Amino acid sequence: MAVTYKPVSTRSMQAEIAMTALQYKGVKQGTAEDQVNDMAALTDKPLGILMNDPPINSHALVLTRGIGPGIAAETLVAGDAVRIDAAGDVAKFEEGTDTTAYVVGTCTKGGADGELVECDYDFPNAQLGA
């Protein structure tokens, strides 16, 4: 059965850096308002999931809300609350431990480390963990 993603909200932005190896990874706001950049630290507020693989200064399509893919940083199962790690991968949010990470959604189809998983994302409403 083919996977069908259901993005509710996307943003069309400009890649501040070459993002040719970052498809399906979490990204953050770039230097300028219309730019997007790769994640650099766990404390970066993620903007969304990069849906394409643009070279520098090219069109970047970013999923900000809805059901979409992500690259797993570890084994995830449906129902896990998720965050984006410093490499842009989707990781399980651990309450009480991940106090500097943003909760960005819920895993809807799990997978192992390095595999594509499916999550229901809500980046505009992401909150710092407690």
CA dihedral 103, 96, 77, 50 (to 10 degrees): 30
Per-position b or e across 64-78, b if 16+ CB within 10 A of its CB = bbbbbbbbbbeebee
pLDDT at 7 over 80: no
Considering the entire predicted model, what is its pTM? Answer: 0.94
Cα gap 44→102, rounded to integer Å: 9
Per-residue pLDDT band at 63 (split at 50, 70, 90): very high
Region 50-62 average pLDDT: 97
Q: What is the tally of structural domains in the chain? A: 1
Q: What is the mean pLDDT of the chain?
A: 94
66: nearest Cα among 118, 1, 12, 3: 118
For residue 44, give the CATH number of its domain.
Answer: 2.40.300
Q: How does pLDDT run across 75-126, given as a tens digit for each residue?
A: 999 999 999 999 999 999 999 999 999 999 999 999 999 999 999 999 999 9
Range of the domain at 120: 1-130
Question: Residue type at 85?
Answer: D
DSSP state of 98: -
| Spatial distance between the Cα atoms of 30 and 129, rounded to a whole number of angstroms | 23
- Yes or no: say if 23 and 51 are a contact pair by the CB < 8 Å rule: yes
